[in-house]
């Protein structure tokens, strides 16, 4: 609900109403006495803005670029889950592009393709991220599409059952990758008894029921 309220408020307010604004990057680095490598000084500056709603916005401008990436980073990774719902964030991420109250799955796909854009998402232990890559002139439309997905996704029972099979196959593939298994066991050992010790995909029992 907090995310829904923040997004609703953010879409109705301009960035100009921000209460906090900070800058990181090449300009800030140049003001210090530390000798940074040239590639650091050439990097775009990152402006961070906090809207009245509390929503934080980070933006960078790459001179000459005709494309843009816009995304939403949500503190909803597996570290915040319990043993009973471990894997829920990853499951919801899979359901994100299955249609909303305004758009069917096909309409979502066609709309973003007609813009020459790309929608994607991923889940980590710390966050779930939803993002779109589009031409810079379409950033506003991309923000509206992401807002629709996050606020109005339809969790259709049939789609849930179909995606459950997809996730179980993904688990089987991950279990064949030794590097992934080692990292999962490392987290389980280093962070015993905490959310960080749990896997991102969760156990089969959670996703399979």
Name the nearest CA neighbour of 24 among 42, 54, 40, 48: 48
| Side-chain-facing half-sphere of 154: CA atoms under 13 Å | 13
Question: Which residue do the tokens 């758009």 mark?
Answer: 103
Q: Tell how far CA 198 is from the center of its chain.
A: 19
| Side-chain-facing half-sphere of 126: CA atoms under 13 Å | 1
DSSP 99: B
Q: Which two tokens stand for residue 126?
A: 């710390």
* Consecutive H or E run containing 120: strand 118-123
Which residues are part of the catalytic machinery?
93
- Residues β-bridged to residue 58: 48
How are the residues of the chain apportioned to helix, strand and coil, as percentages rounded to the nearest 5?
45, 20, 35
Contact partners, residue 91, CB within 8 Å, separation at least 6? 163, 164, 167, 202, 207
């Amino acid at each position: 609900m907090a995310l829904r309220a923040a997004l609703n408020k953010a879409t109705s307010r301009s960035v100009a109403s921000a209460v906090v604004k900070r800058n990181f990057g090449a300009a800030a680095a140049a003001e210090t006495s530390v000798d940074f490598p040239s590639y650091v000084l050439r990097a775009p500056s990152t402006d961070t803005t906090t809207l009245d709603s509390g929503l934080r916005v980070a933006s960078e401008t790459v001179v000459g670029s005709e494309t843009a990436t816009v995304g939403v980073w949500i503190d909803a990774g597996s570290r915040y889950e319990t043993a009973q719902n471990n894997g829920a964030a990853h499951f919801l991420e899979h359901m994100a592009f299955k249609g909303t109250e305004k758009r069917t799955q096909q309409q979502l796909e066609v709309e973003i393709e007609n813009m020459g854009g790309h929608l994607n998402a991923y889940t980590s232990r710390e966050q779930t991220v939803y993002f779109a890559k589009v031409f810079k002139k379409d950033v506003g439309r991309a923000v509206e599409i992401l807002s629709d997905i996050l606020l109005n996704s339809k969790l259709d029972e049939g789609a849930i059952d179909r995606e459950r099979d997809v996730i179980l196959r993904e688990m089987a593939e991950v279990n064949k990758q030794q590097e992934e298994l080692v990292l999962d066991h490392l987290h389980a050992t280093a962070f015993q008894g905490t959310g960080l010790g749990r896997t991102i995909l969760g156990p089969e029992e959670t996703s399979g029921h």
